[in-house]
Structure 1
Amino acid sequence: MRQIILDTETTGLDPNQGHRIIEFAGLEMVNRKLTGRYLHLYMHPERDIDPDAERVHGISLDFLADKPKFRDVAAELCDFIADAELIIHNAPFDVGFMNAEFNRLGLPLVEKQCAQVTDTLAMARDAFPGKRNSLDALCDRFEIDRSNRTFHGALIDCELLSEVYLWMTRGQDSLMMDIGYGEGGEGGGAQGFKFERKPLTVLAPSADELAAHQEYLDSLDKSVKGSCLWRSIENPPSEQPA
């Protein structure tokens, strides 16, 4: 199945209040490989952009002055997402806006056009309960470089989300994971969480560190007028000479 890593930027937070999509980005993935095919669109919203939203994504109405309206690019967008699985971080937000746009034009809703929608935010909350699970937090958790992410632009967010998604689903069919462009790679769905952990680095103490440790234990022995608890941990009764 084709997968589309998808993100949008909008004029505000609520499509029910008339807010509109101003940027759409989607990256195509097949067999856990980005194919190099993508769709990136800017759209004039035919309304103002909330200042708070503009501070997040950095897109101004002046920048969008010569951009097409959503109705002008709707067919291209629908063709791109048709029959694919959509991978979206906080999917209800983006799907809600897309459905509002489609509804204005009398087009089928996302759920009718696509095979399924996978919400990586819900996946992360299941995998890391009680932790921060924003895209930034997940990038930090998986050590994904986000140094080029000045604003929350849709295309750069898709690139980051593609790496986050592969990390979160690695090991479903194989412990191997390839990130890149082209054909090949291991297949995998969007359920389950099996992570391949990096091997731990074990550092042996130096002779000086061992000596300092013994001196500290000697001082503990003196303070308790006997053998400190750490001695019994290092030398449990079964290991002590008879």
Structure 2
Amino acid sequence: MKFNWFKKIVKDYPKFWETYLSYFNENQSKEKRYVVFDCETTGLDYKSDRILSIGAVAIQNNQIIVGDFMEVFLQQDVFKPESVPIHGILREGKEEKIVEAEAVIRFLDFIKDATLIGHHVDFDIEMINQALNRLDVGKLQNQAMDTDIMYQKLKYLPQEQHSSLDELCDIYKIKKSDRHTASGDAFITGLLFLKLKRKLEI
């Protein structure tokens, strides 16, 4: 009996992941959609920390679509009381909390193939990717843009010179309402993105 050692092993992925991947079909052509998102987390170590909440809002035609948004709060399997003063999310708060798997599936269903926007977005993407890894699927396929990098390009700043979201809000006179909530930070970052996009003419 001959064995074909090079035979490709096709993995059976869950339905939600197959649906998500289908959005990247090259034959699809539609209006450009951006999704600005933010994750509140228990800390800054993407390997050991966990997502507490995800907030996201869509942008199309250079305007924030207020009705096209999502916000979820996650059950806290990892709880760090020292982080509560930053984000204000309690382990047993008034918000309805869902398990990580459901939160991530809802996020994928919301973003589809949109370009993801965030401030220091690589961290938020990595937090989502770690959650996806726990579901034994792949990584996010979306293109992404970082408002900090956009500002660096606009001002010809070196890559190592980073700016905080608060600093850029002050520079562009953006009101910092609901700061350090996922939905609030997503909305603020969306306003910043539109200002930078206009100046960079992209």
Q: TM-score, normalised by structure 1?
A: 0.64
| 1:144 and 2:159 aligned | no
SS at match of 1:12: coil
Task: Indicate if the aligned counterparts of 1:43 and 1:64 stay in contact, CA closer than 8 A.
Answer: no
Distance in structure 1 (CA, Å) of the matches to 2:94 and 2:115: 29
SS at match of 1:14: coil
1:56 to 83, 86, 106: 86
Name the counterpart of 1:109.
Answer: 139
Q: State, as a whole percentage, how many aligned pairs show the same letter.
A: 28
Distance in structure 2 (CA, Å) of the matches to 1:66 and 1:145: 28
Distance in structure 2 (CA, Å) of the matches to 1:103 and 1:57: 25
Distance in structure 2 (CA, Å) of the matches to 1:100 and 1:42: 17
Distance in structure 1 (CA, Å) of the matches to 2:49 and 2:196: 32
Distance in structure 2 (CA, Å) of the matches to 1:171 and 1:124: 10
Name the counterpart of 2:185.
Answer: 157
Offset of residue 74 of structure 1: 2.5
SS at match of 1:42: strand
| 1:24 and 2:54 aligned | yes
Offset of residue 126 of structure 1: 3.3
Q: Name stretches of at least 5 consecutive residues in structure 2 with no aligned partner.
A: 1-31
Structure in which a larger fraction of residues adopt strand: 2
Q: Comparing both chains, which one has the higher relative contact order based on Cα–Cα distances under 8 Å and sequence gaps of 6 or more?
A: 2
Name the counterpart of 1:202.
Answer: none
1:40 to 71, 86, 108: 71
User: What is the aligned length?
Assistant: 167
Distance in structure 2 (CA, Å) of the matches to 1:73 and 1:94: 14
Larger radius of gyration, structure 1 or 2?
1
Task: Indicate if the aligned counterparts of 2:73 and 2:96 stay in contact, CA closer than 8 A.
Answer: no
SS at match of 1:123: helix
Calculate the aligned-residue CA RMSD, in Å.
2.0
Offset of residue 29 of structure 1: 0.8
Name the counterpart of 2:7.
Answer: none
Q: Name stretches of at least 5 consecutive residues in structure 1 with no aligned partner.
A: 174-188, 190-242
